[in-house]
Chain A
């Protein structure tokens, strides 16, 4: 013994045994029992999943055979050692079965998988004592005896299938045969179960029951252990009432199912699932043919027709089964003409492309990203899209469908071949994890030992190799989906390699329309233009476009997005950074697709300055620039510019750039609308400050003096003062100056007017970059007053002449540029005006009357006021006037109310208990929603005067919700806005107008 022990231990360790000492002990015991030497063992163990397990099980098997006097059948396995070892090491459950039933060992020797499958029906029927030749086989065994006999015979055959599968040199190649054999075996089990059921049901002849397999069993691609999906159909025997027939058939069905899945001495086989039947769980278990047909004609959903695609009669009455197929199969493909087809195809596409990983998904062979479900969906989606017109695609098994898709040129050969391999490999892994304990599972074991066993069971000596292969498959499956669905949309000339296909125009049209392109012909032209030719650009776009076609389809307007991309591309030509960015960035192309298909505002801005596209690669570049950074940049521009025109052009360029950045981030929902408004406002501040400096310097130079005899400040008012500017907003401003003490007042005034006018000219004169329109009408005396007013004159005006509404306008006054001291003095001057000691009755009345008049006069004619988000009831202006009233009443006591920002004031009002918290919430919600909707309308590129009116067009409303980043339908947005506005109006009427009970009329 000692002479053999050392080398064997080393040898055993080499083939993967982790405890050689125990293994040798077990082998010695086996030798003792069998009386032979087991020299061949190490070779047989080489590819076994768990060699330790195999040896342990072998010992138990030998003991059991000895105890039952069946040692001969063990020794008769000569030549099948490898199969036995593979089985014992690959499935503890089937090993246990053999230990219990050593009498079935001979199955490992004779025949092969195909014989096992072909003889399954006869074998299982005989096992329960039924005549396989009979038209209607009835078991002679009954009760648990019959059930156990059925299960032993079923498992005997499974043992053989599993052994050959596990021992196969190339399991991927055997997989289809294994999968078919498993389906045939399940079919035989149902037939034998039915024979058992008949034995207990004397009136079984009164009904003609057929069992139809659906799903994987129907398609003959079954797993070792998964639910077997079925539906039942029964016709009455001659002279029998239908109700009677259905009642008997229902009893037969229950007994058949019990034979398969009820607990007994022999473990259950699998769950029989009849939930795919008409009406699902709530529907009758058994129906006649006509009732099935009626259901599918009237009620069925599209997915139910897809399920029918895999239906196949498997047991019971053959004629009834055939009648069922004849009745329902013609309807399968009319389903694709039904309403909602595009929506379902879209939804299916999204399911594939947006597969969101969950906690468990990491270990999921089936449901995780790049899992089996993804492969199946990809293939089914293509079948669904093209099977409408091409009947050859209407086949059930996954691999066969893939083959047809390839042969008919719907998908490329390399992709099809990779997908085929991935599918087989995933299924083999799934089979391996199920085989271990014969459990229905799709999870890769999360333990080192489990992983090692799975890796070895599927031909990977090391766990690392297995994980690597799995990872690669997941990634490839996702990529293949893109390649298979979108790549063939590219024209023939754009093929990257010879194996690729290009769809004919009709098929391409089908595919584009199925994902939401409204004008597939134009889309095909754009795709062709983008990809044809030999330029580097065309080359890179061929790589990119398949994925981008899908991303455009996720946006509001796929067609527009594609066209814009073409325009941008032609614009940029072969600029290398652009192509590099699109090719190398993980996110840029997808972001670009969303922007172009969703926001005409951003599209326009990108077309004007294509280099902005570079930001899309970086989250940091998309983040709003801080105010001090902008100020710094403006300072640099001003100090290096030689000519005023040049300086101002650079500043306006800066503003255009920052607006584009903010808008892009906004559409990509990387910042909320209030933040966006704040950024847009900051940018205006910086540009106006710059323009003021340019104008002052110019004025000084023209006068030939070092400095001017006055100081000047720009004060922001209105939405600009409140830091709530939208992309196309004008800036409300006023100019204040203060002459030097010794200066000539008249001369200072003249020059101040010139500077103010020049600031406006610089900002809004036509030029390369978009202008910043300024509106100075809120200044004292409005259009009739001087453009710039001296501080002293302001003091006089506000002290004596001004109207209460002007005090209200000053609530939003915020000095933004010019001499800091002057800014401070201006604020000191206006504070007592805007935060008065007391709001007089007359002032209050005037404020309310003015608001009421605005409501009837300022709204454009011919629109529904309720859709005006600024001036309509419950719109922005209602909320703001309410807040401003509270400010004028309480700001003298409550410091927090002294702000130009609406939301800040609203919060301060709640803290100071001058506004109910609930009311504040209502106002804030309405204000935010109106602000967001307004922002979204600007991003949709509405002209300035239209960004206040909520559109009616459902498609447009949906586009807005997409920009808002909400998953609302058109009516939902409509309803939400109306509701928020109605509530806000009701609060406003109480708080602002002081109406407790409104009169009718």
Chain B
């Protein structure tokens, strides 16, 4: 029993924790939780907790259902939303096979492997996501979702519910060690954006998982419903997760080069080039649902075409304007990601694409100055701005041929995603939508 484990056991006793949630993430990025009683905790540290992996998306192949969740005591955290008296706490887990090997299907492992590759080249990968989501009134089955503020929620009790939600969300997140910047999004009714602070990619991914859970819980406490669905309302903007990123060599920002155009170093340029070249094949990971493509091709500021620009809000990769003296904050922003992606896998493939650009020394194409949406299709083709996949089916077909994605995810996760996403597409295509009924039934 090491000290950290003892600390956990002591805290559990002192804080009167009644049960402990063991957290891990399935291949689709859904947080999974196994609750155990404090009495089982010691055993959990020693031997891990066995669970039936076949019930979890993508985690195992059916015939080797037994998996072990090994809690990581350094991630012990009291869950603030369960009330102070009869508390609950959580720990993230590593997933292992019964033989004690790390599971190839553990998304955290996938990201760790990708980070190891960066590390072998001398890089650390830092990221900073801006997560958008919507607040709705509690859902009523069969009724369209109502955003909280368009429903006059804010009007009736001026600054009431929204204000309370923000305050509660910030308190909750900070009590879990996640410091955030909160901004209300004007663009969509009920839409919010929260920025997580710059951190290394693994911490970012962990934080995103915790963040989503916390936001959902706070929303419930506040009597509203939070959703990270990429495009919940047809006429309002979708929820993206623009992610700023940079590579560091030791304590030096490897993206910065004083005096170069846009202050971009060779490393940064190759990284962007890699990201652009491989963007179509990683899209099924960064935008993994049928619904994702309704945001991606929903106009407005959606980054539908593969190009980059400095401060160009229609570009897929944006290079924020450099502020003099801030060499360490040089970064690029990838704008395709949406809030429903599995952060572990998404960051892994983004990193792999960028690194490929660096190792293969891809040349960076010209930057885009125009608003790409304003151009005619012929102009875009002439300028070489390829479109991103325009549907999940399209994205799957591109990904299937991608050596990069297969190697980054590992064969097992790669095959699972292909299978799972194909079946999602099948299920979607099978629908006869209200749109069709409304539009065609009367006339055909």
Contact = CB atoms under 8 A, between A and B. Distances in A.
Nearest to B103: A971
Interface string B365-408: 00000000000000000000000000001101100110100110
A979 B411 CA distance: 6
Contacts of B414: 982
B425 A1001 contact: yes
Given A954-B101, A982-B406, 18 more contacts: A294-B3, A297-B3, A298-B2, A298-B4, A952-B61, A952-B63, A954-B97, A969-B101, A971-B101, A974-B104, A978-B411, A979-B407, A982-B414, A983-B403, A998-B400, A1000-B393, A1000-B396, A1001-B393
Contacts of B400: 998
Contacts of A14: none
Contacts of B101: 954, 969-971
Interface pairs A-B: 7 shortest CB-CB: A978-B411, A954-B99, A1000-B393, A297-B3, A952-B64, A298-B2, A975-B411
Contact of B411 (A297, A864, A970, A982): A982
Given A955-B99, A971-B101, A1000 B425 contact: yes
B104 A297 contact: no
B429 to A, nearest CB: 8
Given A866-B415, A954-B99, A971-B104, A979 B422 contact: no
A997 B406 contact: no
A877 interface: no
21 contacts: A297-B2, A297-B3, A298-B3, A954-B99, A954-B101, A955-B99, A970-B99, A970-B101, A971-B97, A971-B101, A971-B104, A975-B104, A975-B412, A978-B411, A978-B412, A979-B407, A982-B406, A982-B411, A998-B397, A1000-B393, A1000-B422
A978 B415 contact: yes
B155 interface: no
Interface string B423-435: 0011000000000
Contacts of B415: 866, 978, 982
Contacts of A969: 101
Nearest to A334: B1
Interface of B: 2-4, 61, 63-64, 97-99, 101, 104, 393-394, 396-397, 400-401, 403, 406-407, 410-412, 414-415, 422, 425-426
A999 to B, nearest CB: 8
Nearest to A969: B101
A524 interface: no
Contacts of B401: 986
Contacts of A954: 97-99, 101
Contacts of A970: 99, 101
A298 B414 CA distance: 36
Interface in A932-965: 952, 954-955
Contacts of B403: 983
Contacts of B411: 974-975, 978-979, 982
A984 to B, nearest CB: 13
A108 B98 CA distance: 67
**Chain A interface size range:** 20 to 34
Contacts of A971: 97, 101, 104
A103 B111 CA distance: 69
Given A294-B3, A970-B101, A975 B410 contact: yes
A420 B162 CA distance: 80
Contacts of A955: 99
B286 to A, nearest CB: 18
A1000 B394 CA distance: 8
Contacts of A298: 2-4
Interface of A: 294, 297-298, 864, 866, 952, 954-955, 969-971, 974-975, 978-979, 982-983, 986, 997-1001
Most chain B Cβ neighbours within 10 Å, of A970, A983, A998, A1000: A1000
A982 B396 CA distance: 15
Nearest to A976: B411
Contacts of A983: 403
A42 B396 CA distance: 92
B397 A1000 contact: yes
Contacts of A297: 2-3
B146 to A, nearest CB: 35
A978 B426 CA distance: 25
A970 B99 CA distance: 10
Nearest to A343: B100
B34 to A, nearest CB: 21
A997 B396 CA distance: 12
Nearest to A978: B411
Contact of A979 (B61, B98, B397, B406): B406
Nearest to A293: B3
A1001 B61 contact: no
B412 A974 contact: yes
A983 B411 CA distance: 11
Contacts of B425: 1000-1001
Contacts of B98: 954
B107 to A, nearest CB: 15
Contact of B397 (A864, A978, A986, A997): A997
Contacts of B393: 1000-1001
A539 B123 CA distance: 62
Contacts of A997: 397
A866 B406 CA distance: 15
B16 to A, nearest CB: 26
A298 B6 CA distance: 11
Contact of B426 (A952, A986, A998, A1001): A1001
Nearest to B410: A975
Contacts of B3: 294, 297-298
A864 B425 CA distance: 22
Nearest to A981: B411
A197 B406 CA distance: 59
A920 B86 CA distance: 65
B110 to A, nearest CB: 12
A993 to B, nearest CB: 15
A343 to B, nearest CB: 10
B357 to A, nearest CB: 22
A556 to B, nearest CB: 14
Nearest to A862: B63
Contacts of A975: 104, 410-412
B61 A864 contact: yes
Nearest to B60: A952
A999 B407 CA distance: 23
A1000 B395 CA distance: 10
A864 B63 CA distance: 10
B113 to A, nearest CB: 11
Nearest to B100: A339
Nearest to A958: B99
B442 to A, nearest CB: 30
- Most chain A beta carbons < 10 A, residue from B61, B99, B393: B99
A979 B412 CA distance: 9
A1001 to B, nearest CB: 6
A346 to B, nearest CB: 14
A970 B412 CA distance: 13
A866 B415 CA distance: 10
B119 to A, nearest CB: 15
B375 to A, nearest CB: 26
A298 B74 CA distance: 11
A978 B396 CA distance: 19
B251 to A, nearest CB: 15
Most A CB contacts (10 A, CB to CB) among B64, B101, B426 go to: B101
Contacts of B63: 864, 952
B98 to A, nearest CB: 8
Nearest to B395: A1000
A239 to B, nearest CB: 28
Contacts of B422: 1000-1001
Nearest to B64: A952
Contacts of B410: 975
A525 to B, nearest CB: 27
Contacts of B2: 297-298
B329 to A, nearest CB: 27
